[in-house]
Amino acid sequence: MRPLLTFGVALGLAWCARPAQAQERAEALFERGVSAFLAGRFEEGCPLIEKSHALDPLPGVLFTLAECQFGWGKAKTAADNYGRFLDVVGRLPPAEAGKHAERAAVAIRKRAQAAQRIASVTLRVRGQWVPGTRVTLGSKDVTLLVGKRIELDPGSVSVALVQPGRPVAKREVVLRASQDETVELVIEPPPPPEPAAEPAASAAAPSPSPPPSKAGAWVLGGVGLLGVAVGGVTGAMAWSKRSTIEDNCPNRVCNSSGRSAVDSGQELATVSTISFGVGLVALGGATYLFLKNDERASASTHRGPRVTLGLGSATLRGSF
């Protein structure tokens, strides 16, 4: 336990040197912080004293803050604040500086002790540096300090590697007093670029159409067969009139029976000729449709090349 005289002097000189218009809140924070500090509750007392100094930056308050942080084990922070206190006192007029002579001697000794307890960490990065990569130490960006020794208070600190397009890689590092830790961070290679999306087809490829219906071919076939049948019947009937004409038209002079047979025979012959013609044309059309239907059906199910052999010839067909 430090001598109470040190803290009594610190408190008395700190507040004696304060201007009359010092803020009451700064004084209240200081008193609460010192009470917690003397009770060993550094995590409570040091932040209160720091807030008081921010409101009313007196040299005595800064010295008391450094003392609290030294007791808390914050070696780097305490050494910095001891140094700040000595700088402030060194700029005071001799009469004012003399009031802080005892505390200045304590600050010189304590700063040297704190400096020996400072922890440090060196961050190293392995892998190809990706633009946009950052390294943080606690809440500070230390990207520009990679590879250099960084002094810190002993204790636990979070180290993070932040890469574009990658999850943040975090590590908790325990820094021991008076020791230097080396932390290696590995940069992962950037993710491969996503394949470019294939352009959407302007129109869907037409699906193979089903083979055409054979209904038309069957209808034409039926008409053709009927025409041929009618032509055959009427042709036979016209032929049957020949004997009647020969009997009733001697020397090509016909009586009434012969004339009637001639007229009837001519009509039947005309019907027979027309029926045969229509039937043959219909049968031809039906045959064409049947062949066309078979060709389309074959093309829709077989797209590869086909070879057709004939007498003395060969034909290569297909779709490519």
Say if 200 falls within a structural domain: no
100 and 137 assigned to the same domain: no
35 and 94 assigned to the same domain: yes
Which pLDDT score is estimated for 130?
83
> Looking at residues 234-238, what average pLDDT do you find?
70
Length of the chain (residues): 320
For residue 10, which of 60, 70, 68 has the smallest C-alpha distance?
60
Give the CATH number, domain containing residue 104: 1.25.40.10
50 and 130 assigned to the same domain: no
More confident residue, 195 or 199: 195
Which pLDDT score is estimated for 46?
98
- Pick the range with the lowest mean pLDDT from 21-25, 114-118, 184-188, 286-290: 286-290
Say if 289 falls within a structural domain: yes
Which pLDDT score is estimated for 249?
76
More confident residue, 166 or 108: 108
Per-residue pLDDT tens digits for 28-43: 999 999 999 999 999 9
Residue 133, domain extent: 119-186
For residue 36, which of 14, 65, 56, 9 has the smallest C-alpha distance?
65
Which pLDDT score is estimated for 237?
76
Say if 288 falls within a structural domain: yes
- Pick the range with the lowest mean pLDDT from 7-16, 231-240, 252-261: 7-16
- Residue 256 is encoded by which pair of tokens? 């009434």
Residue at a domain's end among 101, 116, 131: 116
131 and 106 assigned to the same domain: no
**Is 50 exceeded by the pLDDT of residue 81?**
yes
More confident residue, 293 or 80: 80
Say if 197 falls within a structural domain: no
What is the CA 291 to chain-centroid distance, rounded?
56
**Is 80 exceeded by the pLDDT of residue 7?**
no
133 and 108 assigned to the same domain: no
Which pLDDT score is estimated for 259?
72
**Which class for 148: exposed (0-12), middle (13-18), buried (19 or more C-beta within 10 A)?**
exposed
For residue 221, which of 282, 275, 277 has the smallest C-alpha distance?
282
Which pLDDT score is estimated for 199?
62
124 and 111 assigned to the same domain: no
66 and 164 assigned to the same domain: no
Say if 281 falls within a structural domain: yes
Say if 191 falls within a structural domain: no
With a pLDDT cut of 90, the percent of the chain lying above it is: 45
What count of Cα atoms within 13 Å lies in the side-chain half-sphere of residue 159? 23
DSSP state letter for 209: P
Which pLDDT score is estimated for 129?
85
> By three-state DSSP, how is residue 241 classified?
coil
Say if 226 falls within a structural domain: yes
Residue at a domain's end among 83, 98, 116: 116
Residue at a domain's end among 186, 203, 237: 186
- Pick the range with the lowest mean pLDDT from 65-69, 80-84, 188-192: 188-192
12 and 112 assigned to the same domain: yes
112 and 123 assigned to the same domain: no
146 and 234 assigned to the same domain: no
For the chain, the first-to-last Cα distance in angstroms comes to 98
> Looking at residues 95-117, what average pLDDT do you find?
96
309 and 249 assigned to the same domain: yes
Say if 195 falls within a structural domain: no
Give the CATH number, domain containing residue 172: 2.60.40
Per-residue pLDDT tens digits for 244-273: 767 777 767 677 776 776 677 677 677 667
Structural domain count, the chain: 3
79 and 98 assigned to the same domain: yes
> Looking at residues 100-109, what average pLDDT do you find?
96
Q: For all residues of the chain together, what is the average pLDDT?
A: 79
